[in-house]
Structure 1
Amino acid sequence: MNKQNAYKKLVFQNIENALDELNAEDKGHYYICNCPECNEQEAFMYKNNQRFVQCNRENHCGSRMMLEFHEKENVAAYEQKMEKQYPNLTPKQREALDWTTRVLSFAKTGLKSETLDDGYRGLSKQVARSFIADLQHEDIGQHIFHKATPLLGKDYSNNSWVCKRNLMFPLYGEDNTLNRVLFRSSIDESIEPKEIQLILNPSKETRDFFMDIPNNAETVVISESILDALSFREIDENVGLIALTGASKTRKVKDYVREHQELFSDKHTVIAMDDDTAGWKATRDIVDVLEAEKINWSLFEYSPDCKDANENLQHNRDAFERHYRKLNQRKKSFQQTHEMDL
């Protein structure tokens, strides 16, 4: 019997999709992946043979799998789907949007990153890797910016001020399509401004806030930045997150709350803006909407000398987590008492 026929076949559109779905991590000349059979991160794929994956747990699993890619066969159907979804984009823009989306999805887990793997600003590898792509080298950023030129209307690949920012935070729309990307630098944190953003989907008015709300979330935190939001995910893996991309950018968040009031009706909403003038103005702005929609909310208080969630996580994690748990417990007790009264 042909040995290849005995292997389980895994079908993907392309190698980037495969590496993303297998949660692949770059280990130099090979990737370490989740085994599709036993689900342990013990499978490996050599870079010079990206059609073969084998589980390293010989005595427990040892499964061998062949990868098949059907990208070329599905190009016409895929292009029709993209054209229908984004009729206002040119073919080159649709191609660039698809390419950039796939590359950033892969980069979040597929590229080696000492910055993220060793813990970035108090975030564990698991949390950081789920939402942040570390491009590491300026030439990688240059290549991505060059490929994304049809979307940006400008080639930023020769703009060192932009390309020196190695961390990318993708923001997605409701259709899970890439809308914007935020950039920060972990190599030179003295660069100002610390965070910049670019619109990567010129087909519509894009969402200018980050959102990730699990189905089982009991609490939703609204914060001023993605790093602040992810600080809460660090202490509660099920917390729902909404993060502004600047203290003044509350309009679309408020619109979203109004239009999806039912999403918040059975949850505890926590407001955690920066403890400064801009943060308090944003807090008042959002609280007005929560009050109008009759959504239960609380304010998060930081430890002394901390002005935001990420700073609190780094400087006093125990106090940060303790206050979060206490706030949620107090809210649950209030809701239970209220329900009994009714």
Structure 2
Amino acid sequence: MKIDKQSLYKRLVYQNIEDVLDELNAEDKGRYYICNCPECNEHEAFIYKNNTNFIQCNRENHCGERMLLQFHEKKSLHSEREKIQQTFPSLSDDQKEALTWSMRLFSFAKTGLKSEALDNGYRGLSKGNIRKHIVDLQNREVIQYFFRKTSSLLGKDYSKNNWMCKRNLIFPLYDKNNILDRVLLRSSIDPTLEPKEIQLIMNPSKDTKDFFMEIPEETKTVVFSESLLDALSFREVDAHCGFIALTGASKTRQVQAYICENNDVFTNKHILVAMDDDKAGWKATKKLVNTLRTEGLGENVSLFRYSDGYKDANEFLQGNRARFTKRYLQDTNQLQQTKRIQNEMPFS
């Protein structure tokens, strides 16, 4: 009797390979991934890229477990496309396909690709912090392919534009339904490129969201900053802080509207406004603080204090991490102490 060896293996079911790589803390080793073994949890299991349906623990004398991986990839892609179809019917078939493809690409690249630019830290930010939010398209050929695939969304094919094809770092920005809205492009291939950051709208069917937001329910502090890099700089010193990051000092309108419509999100939280220390940043600070005060949140607000000539949070972090950390703790603790004293004061 012929025995099907595969039937003897434990089967693990995931939505897609990206979920496996993320959950098992996979590292790209070229032809294969090294990851945590689902059985013994040691970081010694491997998945070959030419056979992603099989995982084996390398600890032969201690575990050595072999498991089959099953995916619902087709169903996931179909449901993702259906969601875009229902939400944005005005997009053409090519645009819907390009939007779905872009979202899948970014999801995979965050965990499935090694990055020389990001894996050793980027602009003072650690790998664990940065890889969750930024995609590295690696090289000119991949960037060209990305631009060709998304030309129907962008309204232009940038694949032959040498200046654009040097921008390998992608900051994806999603709407409340986790559908891609726009991307910010920077370069580690040529850091001298000006302007340093370019924004492209990826969903031409609507007024796209122009700010990043990540506010965990348990967070005690929400930072308002002028860029994602600045916001992630605060995550370096407080992994649990929430943030709202603009895509430029002039992009306050949508953030102000969000504050007014979601007042409860900021209730009982310390709000630290940390726009850049320049004319445009001060103007943005004034608008945001006025809105927060109008919404009855003024007592929760404090302003981040810069020093030593630093103009933004990421520059401050890179220039003097110890002082940046101390300043953040001072600013957050000061407001908490003031509020505690106010709460402890007897009624007159």
Residues 78 and 100 (structure 1), Cα distance of their counterparts in 2 relative to 1, 3 Å cut: closer
Deviation at 1:333, TM superposition (A): 1.4
- On the 8 A contact 1:300/1:324 being kept in 2, the answer is yes
Give the TM-score normalised by structure 1.
Answer: 0.93
Which structure has the bigger radius of gyration?
2
Q: Which amino acid aligns with 1:227?
A: L
AA in 2 matched with 1:48: N
Q: Name the SS of the counterpart of 1:255 in structure 2.
A: helix
Aligned to 1:332: 336
- DSSP 3-state at the match of 1:186: coil
Q: Match of 1:306, SS?
A: coil
Q: 2:11 is matched with which residue? A: 9
Contact 1:22 1:35 in 2 (8 A): yes
Query: When the two structures are superposed, what TM-score results if normalisation uses the length of structure 2?
Result: 0.91
- After superposition, give the CA deviation of every residue in 1:128-164 in whole Å (9 maximum; x if it has no partner): 1111111120111111111112211221211221110
Checking the alignment, whether the CA contact within 8 Å between 1:20 and 1:106 is kept in structure 2 is no
Asked if structure 2 preserves the Cα contact closer than 8 Å seen for 1:17 and 1:102, the reply is no
Alpha-carbon spacing, 1:76–1:45, altered in 2? closer, same or farther (3 Å): closer
Using the TM superposition, give the Cα deviation of residue 307 of structure 1 relative to its aligned residue in structure 2, in angstroms.
Answer: 0.9
The number of residue pairs the alignment matches comes to 342
> 2 CA distance for matches of 1:308 and 1:326?
17
Task: Please list, as runs of the form range in 1=range in 2, the aligned pairs for 1:1-342 lying within 5 A after superposition.
Answer: 2-37=4-39, 41-58=43-60, 61-72=63-74, 79-295=81-297, 296-341=300-345
Report the Cα distance in structure 1 between the residues aligned to 2:33 and 2:56, rounded to whole angstroms: 11
User: In structure 2, what is the Cα distance between the partners aligned to 1:276 and 1:77?
Assistant: 45
Contact 2:56 / 2:67 at 8 angstroms: preserved in 1?
A: yes
For residue 220 of structure 1, what is the amino acid of its counterpart? Answer: V
Deviation at 1:22, TM superposition (A): 4.2
**CA 1:189–1:338 in structure 2 vs 1: closer, same or farther (change >3 Å)?**
same
- The alpha carbon displacement at 1:43 in A equals 2.8
Q: Could you tell me whether the CA contact under 8 Å between 2:15 and 2:71 is conserved in 1?
A: yes
CA distance in 1, matches of 2:217, 2:56: 33
The one-letter code sitting in structure 2 at the alignment partner of 1:310 is N
CA apart distance, 1:66: 1.4
Q: Which structure 2 residue ranges, 5 or more long, are not aligned?
A: none
CA RMSD of aligned residues (A): 2.1
Aligned amino acid, residue 221 of structure 2: T
Change (3 A) 1:39 1:332: farther
- Unmatched runs of 5 consecutive residues or more in structure 1: none
Mapped partners of 1:249, 1:73: distance in 2: 37
1:332 maps to amino acid: Q
1:303–1:320: 8 Å Cα contact kept in structure 2?
no
Amino acid at match of 2:304: F
Structure 2 vs 1, CA of residues 79 and 60 (structure 1 numbering), >3 Å: closer, same or farther? same
Look up the equivalent residue of 2:337 and give its one-letter code. S
Question: Structure 1 residues 338 and 26, CA, compared in 2 at 3 Å: closer, same or farther?
Answer: same
Tell me, what secondary structure is at the counterpart of 2:132? helix
Cα distance change, pair 281–162 in 1 and its aligned pair in 2 (3 A): same
Percent of matched pairs sharing the same residue = 59
CA distance in 1, matches of 2:227, 2:80: 34
Using the alignment, how far apart are the partners of 2:34 and 2:101 within structure 1? 23
CA distance in 2, matches of 1:331, 1:38: 46
In structure 2, relative to structure 1, the CA distance for the partners of 1:20 and 1:321 (3 Å cut) is same
Is the alpha carbon distance of 1:50 and 1:260 closer, same or farther for their aligned partners in structure 2, counting shifts above 3 Å?
Answer: same
Letter of the 1:286 partner, please give it: L
